[in-house]
Amino acid sequence: MDLCHVPASREKGWYLALMAPNVKGPNYAWLDPSRLYCHPQGLQDCVADLLQPFQGDAIDMVAGIDAMGFILGAAAAASLRKGFLAIRKAGHLCVQTAAQPYSDYSGREKVMEIRADGISPGLRILLVDQWVETGGTMRAAIELVERLGGVVAGVAAICMESSEGGKWIQERYKCSHCVPPHLQPRFDQHQ
């Protein structure tokens, strides 16, 4: 892995080539972006591309979804100079929580939690996750934010697949992702 190479022409999404394909089978996501996070310029450009559509928008806080959304969410919060709120898998927070059941991309039933005092009415939240595949995880996060009176200012992920759930989110919320339009069909088909 060359963590120093930066292409001369850095078009949106150049860093997607840093991701590694799944070699462990169907119980894992089809791509692993963790190598992208190791590349200093790749991570910076990814975060900049994710935040570009929200320039000038009112955002009070960034919330990242457990666990890989913590990386991008914290980087986005730092870039925006905003606070960061972790949306956790159930059972990890030692304070009062609000919970939301959901089905993840693999169809497994899970529960996510957020601190009950983390969002006040009217707070504008940018939701960040690594990937939106079926949309179940992100939709549960949206429901939590809105149930606590927050406003979803936007949704950002490296990739938002054109699944039924992904389309539902994109039709209702301002969204940002890093996949150029000409590559979207390949990502949707996990190629």
Residuewise pLDDT in 10s, the chain (191 residues): 577 788 888 999 999 999 988 888 877 778 889 899 999 999 999 999 999 999 999 999 999 999 999 999 999 999 999 999 999 999 999 999 999 999 988 888 999 999 999 999 999 999 999 999 999 999 999 999 999 999 999 999 999 999 999 999 999 999 999 999 999 999 999 88
Query: Cα–Cα distance between 95 and 58 in angstroms, integer?
Result: 28
**Residue corresponding to tokens 């209702």:** 172
Give the torsion sign (CA, 76, 7, 181, 17).
negative
Angle separating helix axes 68-80 and 40-51, nearest 10 degrees: 70
> Whose CA is closest to 131, among 73, 59, 181?
73
Outline where the chain has alpha helix (H). Answer: 34-38, 40-51, 68-80, 136-147, 164-172, 184-188
The pTM for the full model equals 0.94
Domain ranges of the chain: 14-189
CATH for the 14-189 domain, from 3.30.365.10, 3.40.50.2020, 2.130.10.10, 3.30.70.1140? 3.40.50.2020
